[in-house]
């Protein structure tokens, strides 16, 4: 694994001359950092050196620019080989018309976290079964990719959770995968879908083990699980918190930020649209 430090400079209404001068400074660091222009609205510099990020930020400060600083851990195949749990994402079917037809009615926003004040798009409660457009499971994804012969079998939902095909859910059940709950979704006419269901983890772990996990900056919120600092290395979960579950969520509602055990994740091998998230390690209590 390796650490990446990022320096981001949003345009924020700066005039052409100011924006050009900022661009000249940032491009001058191209031998020491990876420089990415994001359209005409942001400059982004990524580096594996905290010292380089500090020096670039200091030079920008001379222009009265306050860049956005962040750091992240990038994992490689060896890290995933060590992982006990692996984050999982599906295909993005956020299209027009939408994949989920009743999001405005079925999803109720949570209030901000009473501890840290955080709130994002995944902080919603499902008040009734989601109605999906099943035809989109056989069409192009938002990135233009096409499904396999069975259509898309793992798709992202606006809750941050996943929709899994009935075939995969039956495969999980036959393999004895523990702690994965299924919730019905409906067709536009109100019939329960026999093709797919939403899933949720029965086990939720919001904060990492404080003995094994390294964090730069503020800790994770114990109420909503939001990271207020930067994770340096693995997110470690205590065995006592995970138990024997094969599915664990790092979100209070159990749908978003879903992680599967290695044996569960391996059952998704070769399924079109499946993407792996961060690896997680489990430690003894």
Scan for tokens 């095909």, then name that residue. Answer: 165
Distance, CA of 108 to CA of 134 (rounded, Å): 23
Please say if the pLDDT value at position 13 is more than 80.
yes
Tell me which residue of 226, 231, 256 sits closest to 117, measured CA to CA.
226
Angle between helices 50-61 and 16-27 (to 10 degrees): 150
The CA dihedral of 198, 201, 202, 206, to the nearest 10 degrees, is -140
Distance, CA of 73 to CA of 230 (rounded, Å): 8
Alpha helices in the chain (DSSP H): 16-27, 50-61, 77-82, 103-106, 166-174, 239-242, 262-266
Do 90 and 152 form a contact (C-beta atoms < 8 A)? yes
Please say if the pLDDT value at position 123 is more than 90.
yes
Taking residue 270's Cβ as centre, other Cβ atoms within 10 Å add up to 7
Tell me which residue of 179, 178, 136, 188 sits closest to 157, measured CA to CA.
136
The sign of the dihedral angle between the CA atoms of 119, 121, 123, 128 is positive
Please say if the pLDDT value at position 143 is more than 90.
no
pLDDT band at 90 (very low <50, low <70, confident <90, very high): very high
Question: What letters, b where the CB count within 10 A reaches 16 and e where it falls short, cover 97-129?
Answer: eebbbebeebbeeeeebeebeeeeebbbebeeb
pLDDT in tens, 34-78: 999 998 899 999 999 999 999 999 999 999 999 999 999 999 999
Taking residue 15's Cβ as centre, other Cβ atoms within 10 Å add up to 8
**Whole-number pLDDT of residue 97:** 78
Name the percent of the chain lying above pLDDT 90.
Answer: 96
pLDDT in tens, 149-190: 999 999 999 999 999 999 999 999 999 999 999 999 999 999
pLDDT in tens, 254-280: 999 999 999 999 999 999 999 999 999
Do 160 and 257 form a contact (C-beta atoms < 8 A)? yes
| Structure tokens, 99 | 């994949």
Tell me which residue of 123, 258, 277 sits closest to 204, measured CA to CA.
258
Please say if the pLDDT value at position 246 is more than 90.
yes
Task: Supply the pTM of this predicted model.
Answer: 0.90
Name the percent of the chain lying above pLDDT 70.
Answer: 100
Please say if the pLDDT value at position 193 is more than 80.
yes
| Structure tokens, 17 | 């001359």
pLDDT band at 94 (very low <50, low <70, confident <90, very high): confident
- Mean pLDDT value of segment 181-203: 97
């Amino acid at each position: 694994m390796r650490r990446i430090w990022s320096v981001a400079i949003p345009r924020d209404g700066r005039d052409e001359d100011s924006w050009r001068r900022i661009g000249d400074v940032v491009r001058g660091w191209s031998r020491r950092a990876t420089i990415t222009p994001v359209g005409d609205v942001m400059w982004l510099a990524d580096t594996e050196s905290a010292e380089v990020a500090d020096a670039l930020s200091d030079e920008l400060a001379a222009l009265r620019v306050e860049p956005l600083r962040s750091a992240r851990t990038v994992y490689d195949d060896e890290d995933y080989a060590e992982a006990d749990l692996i984050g999982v994402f599906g295909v993005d079917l956020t299209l027009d018309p939408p994949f989920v037809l009743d999001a405005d009615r079925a999803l109720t926003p949570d209030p901000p976290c009473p501890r840290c004040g955080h709130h994002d798009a995944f902080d919603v409660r499902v008040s009734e079964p989601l109605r999906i457009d099943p035809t989109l499971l056989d069409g192009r994804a938002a990135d233009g990719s096409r499904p396999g012969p069975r259509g898309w079998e793992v798709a992202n939902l606006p809750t941050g959770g996943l929709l899994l095909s009935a075939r995969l859910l039956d495969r999980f059940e036959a393999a004895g995968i523990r702690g994965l709950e299924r919730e019905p979704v409906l067709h536009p006419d109100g019939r329960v879908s026999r093709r797919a269901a939403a899933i949720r983890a029965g086990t939720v772990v919001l904060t990492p083990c404080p003995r094994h996990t390294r964090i730069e900056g503020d800790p994770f919120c114990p109420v909503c699980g939001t990271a207020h600092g930067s994770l340096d290395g693995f997110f470690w979960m205590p065995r006592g918190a995970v138990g024997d579950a094969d599915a664990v969520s790092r979100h209070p509602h159990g749908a978003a930020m879903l992680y599967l055990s290695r044996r569960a994740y391996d059952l998704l091998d070769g399924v079109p649209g499946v993407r792996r998230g961060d690896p997680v390690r489990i430690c003894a209590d």
